[in-house]
């Protein structure tokens, strides 16, 4: 089970890194409808707890449900984003689907890297053949 750990002195950037690690996506954090500064603490963003809170992530939730649950519980807003920092258009997509999509992309990129390495090795081994 994935657990989001929140502390009032945690910065927004640490929260963003934790979301990236747990959910394989980027996140924009909003405070009172304005984009939060990455150096602000969660307390400054509206987090009212005084101690570390461990928040289990239900990966069966849709993106919209997760964002709403965090906002209701912790008084700041999240918007989950793809790797290009563009908000996901399909908010009914489930959290567990984010990891599946990322793994497929990484596999595809990994295969591409292997073929590029093979091409470069072939070029080094026979430079005279490539001249013609």
3-state helix, strand, coil in the chain (%, to 5): 50, 20, 30
Provide the whole-model pTM: 0.73
Domain boundaries, the chain: 2-124
Residues in the chain, pLDDT under 50: 103-120, 123, 126, 130-132
d(C-alpha 13, C-alpha 36), whole Å: 10
pLDDT at 109: 42
- Token pair in block for residue 2: 């994935």
pLDDT at 83: 87
Closest CA to 98 of 78, 80, 84, 71: 80
pLDDT at 99: 79
Count CA within 13 A, CB hemisphere, residue 62. 9
pLDDT at 124: 53
């Amino acid at each position: 089970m994935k657990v989001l750990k929140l502390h009032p002195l945690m910065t927004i950037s640490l929260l963003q890194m934790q979301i990236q690690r747990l959910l394989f996506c980027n996140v924009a954090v909003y405070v009172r409808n304005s984009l939060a500064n990455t150096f602000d603490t969660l307390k400054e963003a509206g987090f009212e707890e005084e101690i570390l809170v461990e928040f289990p992530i239900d990966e069966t939730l849709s993106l919209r449900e997760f964002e709403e649950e965090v906002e209701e519980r912790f008084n700041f807003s999240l918007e989950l984003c793809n790797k290009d920092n563009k908000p996901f258009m399909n908010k009914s997509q489930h959290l567990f689907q984010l990891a599946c999509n990322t793994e497929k992309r990484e596999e595809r990129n990994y295969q591409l890297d292997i073929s590029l390495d093979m091409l470069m090795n072939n070029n080094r081994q026979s430079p005279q053949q490539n001249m013609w």
